[in-house]
Structure 1
Amino acid sequence: MVIQFCDACGDMIPISKEKNVDCELCGTSNENTLIDKVTVTSTSDFPSELRRNRTITAPKSMASTDTWSTTDVTCPYCKAKEVRYTTLQLRGADEGSTMFYFCPDCSTRWSENN
């Protein structure tokens, strides 16, 4: 990391993308010698590979309930005795997974955190 100092008082000058930078201590305008070395970025410039993959794959796996397993959980809406379910790890690895349920009788979906 390169640091620029004020020509008048010797205080550190903040990093900037402007051609001239004013010293915060004495107010002297200094030529920005680091202007060609400064790169301004944000987190959106580096999208997470995992986030990109999650948005591609998660909707596809949740869309079709044909491959979901069945269980003897009662549907809270129509009281059917058997529903389909799947699990996804949506929270941290040290926390439980999320159970997604689908009732084939009334087409209701709901979820529970384990």
Structure 2
Amino acid sequence: MEFCDDCGSMMQTDGGMWVCQSCGFEKPRDSEKERQFQEATTESQSSDEGVVDMSEVDNSEIGPTTTVICPSCGHDRARYEMKQIRSADESETRFFTCVECDHKWREDDH
């Protein structure tokens, strides 16, 4: 990825050139720099993909828990995680998993 030296916009490739779609600035591509960047980013990625077996992991080791009533079984403990699923100016969404029955639900902070 390259950014325009003149206006700072993200540039696009056009053959052997980087071209700014905003102001028209052009500069030649540097194939050695691009190759080094590609190698650096692919080396840091793990090739170990697939399903993780959690069957022998104790529930207490999976993540934090909190006191909350499960809407399915009424138990008062659940694991939770928070994720940003809406725009950045909105609060995070809390996802719960009951430690008793594994029921999953979410709670939006308003």
Give TM-score, length-normalised by structure 1: 0.41
Of structures 1 and 2, the larger Rg is shown by 1
Give TM-score, length-normalised by structure 2: 0.43
